[in-house]
Structure 1
Amino acid sequence: MTETSHPVEDVLDKTDALLEGRKDYLEVAELMDELGVKSIAAVLVAPSLALVSPLSGIPLFSSACGITIALISGQMLMGRKHLWLPDFLSRRALSAKATQKATRGLRRVAAWMDRKFKKRFQSLLTPPFLRVIQVICLLCGLMMPFLELLPFTSSILGAVVALLAVSMLTGDGLIALVTVTLLALGLGGVAFQLM
């Protein structure tokens, strides 16, 4: 993906372009290949945004997205430039109709993100803080299959990963810092309630 002022909408545009004229299914591998040409962060945006769309209501969809997020984040941590996904994930098919509906529903969110995210505090998107962001995305992805039965939890974690992925994609360290801080406060509040 070339660098533009609308990186999140570009992810949706690429998805819509792949869906154009299809009446059946889109394989995950096709979408990941298209998005991953220039940026693994762009690939991370797709499953995380999908989790805050109506697609998250499909049984086991949250688990598949969580495993995908964990695999992508793990490869980012290892510094890989080319993405690998196992066959059972890369060959998973998404309904063209449901995916088009989801991308339409996410347009407003994507436009808002593209307006708000700017190149700020870019030093926070370099190691060691970048590694913290990638580890958070990895852990969120790993947790999703275990939270499949709890309503909205995968969407909340998907929103966290989406914000962090878009911050990496756009170079906005401020959004990453705010997201990590709010996540830490939220987890602290949960831990306090359990004590």
Structure 2
Amino acid sequence: MEESQQDAAVESDEPHNLEEMMRAIEAIETPSGRIRFDEVLDAIGRRSFGPLLLLAGMVTLMPVVSGIPGVPSLMAAFTLLVSGQLLLGRRTFWFPGWLRNRTLPSDKVHTGLKWMYKPARWIDRLLHSRFSFMTGKQGMRVTALACFVLALAMPPMELVPLTVNIAGVALTLFGLAIMARDGLLSTLAFIVTGTSLFTIIYNLT
């Protein structure tokens, strides 16, 4: 009983849509001019699958951030850790120090966030709780498996223009679908995932 109450308290502090996620990241103080990944995890919460997937998708989608060499591969490693631990049944997520201590230029992050605010508000208005079986316990495991496979494909996607951004769209949709319990959005995310995997296989064969 006490553990479930603690879980509910944690979830209430976490962002529930895309704009809330962005504002939580934007509020991080960065006197050094760089944002530590650990600070971002503190801002959005470390225990919920949806916000963590949404974070990976957002970073991969921001042109000024995803264009930094190695960032898509970093987000791929992050997604592998999150989805892999969910598949193993962990209730909380563990991240190694080398990942938590990575930093990004705060000016590029803030530029990317400003670029995303207008579409974020439009997207948030479309979110609804529907087809809940797609975001239930079994649906989450299937989603985790899809994200695990997608993350494995992300490093070579850096070699093919725009494909890593498609992967970012898929991760963003999956994250939003879980947060809003929107099964229709989850279905769309699976379609985008299939498209991105087909594109990278086609271009590399």
Pairwise CA distance, 1:58: 0.5
Offset from partner CA, 1:52-83 (integer Å, 9 cap, x none): 11211101111111111111111222332322
In structure 2, relative to structure 1, the CA distance for the partners of 1:119 and 1:89 (3 Å cut) is same
Contact 2:16/2:179 (8 A) holds in 1: no
Question: What does residue 22 of structure 1 align with?
Answer: 31
Give the fraction of aligned pairs with identical amino acids, expressed as a percent. Answer: 26
Structure 2 counterparts to residues 35-114 of structure 1, below 5 A: 35-36=44-45, 39-54=48-63, 55-114=65-124
Question: What does residue 40 of structure 2 align with?
Answer: 31
- RMSD (Å), alpha carbons: 2.7
Which stretch shifts more, 35-44 or 50-59?
35-44
Corresponding residue to 2:152 among 132, 142, 158: 142
In structure 2, relative to structure 1, the CA distance for the partners of 1:80 and 1:112 (3 Å cut) is farther
Which stretch shifts more, 141-150 or 86-95?
141-150
- CA distance in 2 between counterparts of 1:147 and 1:4 reads 31
In structure 2, relative to structure 1, the CA distance for the partners of 1:18 and 1:142 (3 Å cut) is same
Question: What does residue 164 of structure 2 align with?
Answer: 154
Unaligned residue ranges in structure 2 (runs of 5+): 1-10
Offset from partner CA, 1:14-43 (integer Å, 9 cap, x none): 101114x63511110111122115623112
Offset from partner CA, 1:137-173 (integer Å, 9 cap, x none): 1111121112222111111111111101110011001
Contact 2:169/2:192 (8 A) holds in 1: no
Corresponding residue to 1:164 among 155, 163, 174: 174
